[in-house]
Amino acid sequence: MKLIELKDVKKTFKDGRKTIEALKSTNFSVEEGEFVAIIGPSGSGKSTFLTIIGGLQTPTEGKVFIKNDKFSELEEKDRATKRFNEIGFILQASNLIPFLTVKDQLRLVNKVEKSKIDDDKVEKLLSELGIDNLMDKYPSDLSGGEKQRAAIARALYHDPAVILADEPTASLDTDRAFEVVEILARETKKKKKATIMVTHDERLTEYCDSVYTMRDGVLTKNQ
């Protein structure tokens, strides 16, 4: 099943009198359980691409489908709700809320949707990611790798269909970076998510099912 699907998606910006094509007309899809990497130089349109899939901005042309729903056509507010339910974001660093413990980062999800926290689920998820002993720690007490694992836990906790990771290893050393990507790959398979990781580090792509390169707004699949 295709969890993410882009049909003829195009994004243009106006810069004075010029029109810049940040993303040229693109068709793209990710199946469940598929881990996709997108590499490319900075300014190539990788982030634009990711934020369009995440619904943070709408395409100028074309449609984005998440679980076969016309995501890009939704009203801003409904898109936020869908994003909350179906998309897990993992960002470079500042992903975690500084004044919440690891467990409370997850509890916040429950608070927003007015449900009770499921302690077993939290414990299981955190021990899968190897950070169950850090449950009551604040982000400032965690190392870079631990922070990213907590961010992955936060993204997975709500059981979304899609995981979008924007340079998740940017602030990590090589060993930690490999560990984090390995966890992402494992969870994608196990929980049947569609995961897209934007990175500039080509070595990390060995865990991915397919790799795309973005250059000047054109997305091409690597062989």
Partner 1 sequence: MFLAWQEIKYSKTRFALIIGVVILISYLVFFLMGLAYGLAQENRMSIDKWDADGIVLAEESNLNINMSMFSKDQIETIDAYEKASLGVTSSVVQPQEKTDEESKINVTFFGIDKEEFIYPGVIEGEGFSEENEVIADISLRDEQGINIGDELSLAGMDLTIKIVGFTDNAKFSVGPVLYTDHPTYQRIRASGFGEREDEIISAIAVRSDSGEISDITLSDNELNLYSTGEFISNLPGYTAQVLTFGLMIGFLVLIAAMIIGIFIYVLTLQKSSMLGVMKAQGISSKYIAKSVVGQTFLLSFIGVFTGLVLTLATGLILPAAVPYQNNLLFLVSITTLLIVVAVAGAFFSVRTVVKIDPLEAID
Query: Strand, coil or helix: what is 167?
Result: coil
Considering only residues 93-112, where is the footprint of partner 1 by CB under 8 A?
Answer: 94-95, 97-100, 104, 107-108, 111-112
Q: How many residues does the chain have?
A: 223
Considering only residues 19-78, where is the footprint of partner 1 by CB under 8 A?
Answer: 47, 50-51, 54, 56-57, 77
Tell me whether residue 93 or residue 218 sits nearer to partner 1 (CB atom): 93
> How is residue 99 annotated by DSSP?
T
Among residues 30, 37, 64, 87, the one that binds partner 1 under rule CB under 8 A? 87
Considering only residues 125-184, where is the footprint of partner 1 by CB under 8 A?
Answer: 138, 154, 166
State the nearest-atom distance from the C-beta of 47 to partner 1, in Å: 6
Q: Determine the interface stretch with partner 1 among 12-20, 80-88, 124-132, 184-192 (rule: CB under 8 A).
A: 80-88
The Cα-based distances of 161 to 18, 30, 187, 192, 208 in angstroms read 37, 11, 12, 8, 17
H or E segment at 219? strand 218-221
State yes or no: residue 91 binds partner 1 (CB under 8 A). Answer: yes
State the nearest-atom distance from the C-beta of 113 to partner 1, in Å: 10
Among residues 65, 84, 178, 207, the one that binds partner 1 under rule CB under 8 A? 84
User: Around Cβ 115, how many Cβ atoms within 10 Å?
Assistant: 9
Decide: 147 and 177 in contact? Cβ < 8 Å.
Answer: no
State yes or no: residue 117 binds partner 1 (CB under 8 A). Answer: no
Q: How far apart are CA 94 and CA 158, in angstroms?
A: 19
> How is residue 141 annotated by DSSP?
G
Decide: 210 and 34 in contact? Cβ < 8 Å.
Answer: yes
Tell me whether residue 82 or residue 149 sits nearer to partner 1 (CB atom): 82
Q: How far apart are CA 76 and CA 54, in angstroms?
A: 12
Q: How far apart are CA 164 and CA 195, in angstroms?
A: 6
Q: Determine the interface stretch with partner 1 among 65-73, 83-91, 123-131, 168-176 (rule: CB under 8 A).
A: 83-91
Tell me whether residue 17 or residue 116 sits nearer to partner 1 (CB atom): 116
The Cα-based distances of 89 to 48, 150, 195 in angstroms read 14, 12, 10
State yes or no: residue 80 binds partner 1 (CB under 8 A). Answer: yes
State the nearest-atom distance from the C-beta of 175 to partner 1, in Å: 26
Binding site for partner 1 (CB under 8 A): 47, 50-51, 54, 56-57, 77, 80-85, 87-89, 91, 94-95, 97-100, 104, 107-108, 111-112, 138, 154, 166
